[in-house]
Chain A
Amino acid sequence: MPIIDFANPTRFLTIANRALPWLIAVTVIVFAIGLFYVMNAPDDYQQGATVKIMFLHVPAAWLGMLGWGLMSVAALGTLVWRHPLADVAGKAAAPIGAAFTFICLVTGSLWGRPTWGTYWVWDARLTSMLVLLLLYFGVLALYWTAEEPSRGARAAAILSLVGAVNLPIIKFSVDWWNTLHQPASVFRMGGSTIDPALLTPLLIMALAFTLLFATLHLAVMRNEILRRRVRSMRLMQAQELAEAT
């Protein structure tokens, strides 16, 4: 089957309906394995058991950024090729990315209090992550308040591309500025600085959260396609009523 066939909304619905039960099952299994590893992970020699917050905080941060990256790619599809599924993908990623960014900020704050002695500091990493959440709220507001969906989609796509500037700022903020937040410790030149006993559960939980993101994204895209069908049918109904009178 040519790849372009996946871009047909009806074909996409068929694929999504088939894939979702499998994705849900795999997500649950990987989460079960990940949580087993988390429960049996040793305490950190400095942070003690609070290191268990890392298994939520780090995947949530990655997925908050991945969500915006996905929206930026979808924005190109909306603005350049004007493909309806690109807009559907971008719109569906926004609430999920916002939720993961929110989880990242809250769990980071709860991790910061016992390790740094404060819930919040205005350092570059924390502030740029908060800016990402505010950008998500901006995109959601554009989608939810636009009277004409296509105009809202274009405005949201432009904001998605502009907001992508924040992604390298988040990533390199710990290198460019002096921050309370620790520097990169998983993906860095010279390899990870995390002990394998903690790195293994972290990577399994990251995989579980990524599968959760994919599952939710597919399900929200399916809902959005159905919502657009409802809107289109209501417009047809209104047109027929206007012609009949």
Chain B
Amino acid sequence: MNLGPHADFIVAAYAVTLFVVAALAGWVVLDYSAQCRTLGDLEARGVTRRSQRKG
């Protein structure tokens, strides 16, 4: 595939897009594991939500 005389601009555009999407996906994955870990810690300490309480 020949990208011609402006290959740098094309490659830079795809690289920036890949970087932003990867950063967004990475943040989502890390945030999910952090929330799950914190929820697990709280439940292990016996903390429950109001809706989970009986009686």
Which residues of A are at the interface with B, using a C-beta cutoff of 8 A?
A: 39, 43, 48-50, 52-53, 56-57, 60, 95-96, 99, 102-103, 106-107, 110-111, 113-114, 212, 216, 219-220, 222-223, 226-227, 229-230, 232-234, 236-237
Contacts and interface: CB of A to CB of B under 8 A. Distances in A.
Interface in B7-52: 7, 9-10, 12-14, 16-17, 20-21, 23-25, 27-28, 31-32, 35-36, 38-39, 42, 45, 47-50
A107 B17 contact: yes
Contacts of A49: 2-4, 6-7, 10
| A interface majority secondary structure | helix
A226 B50 CA distance: 15
B35 A114 contact: no
B48 A216 contact: no
B49 to A, nearest CB: 6
30 contacts: A43-B4, A48-B5, A50-B6, A50-B10, A52-B10, A53-B10, A56-B14, A56-B17, A95-B27, A99-B20, A99-B24, A102-B20, A110-B10, A110-B12, A111-B9, A114-B9, A212-B21, A216-B28, A219-B28, A219-B32, A223-B35, A226-B35, A227-B31, A230-B39, A232-B50, A233-B42, A233-B48, A234-B42, A236-B48, A236-B50
| B interface majority secondary structure | helix
A60 B17 contact: yes
B39 A226 contact: yes
B13 to A, nearest CB: 4
A4 B38 CA distance: 29
Contacts of A229: 39, 49
B20 A103 contact: yes
Given A103-B20, A226-B39, 8 more contacts: A48-B4, A49-B7, A56-B14, A60-B17, A103-B16, A110-B9, A233-B39, A233-B42
Given A106-B16, A232-B50, A114 B6 contact: yes
A114 B39 CA distance: 51
Contacts of B28: 216, 219-220, 223
Given A219-B28, A223-B32, A103 B10 contact: no
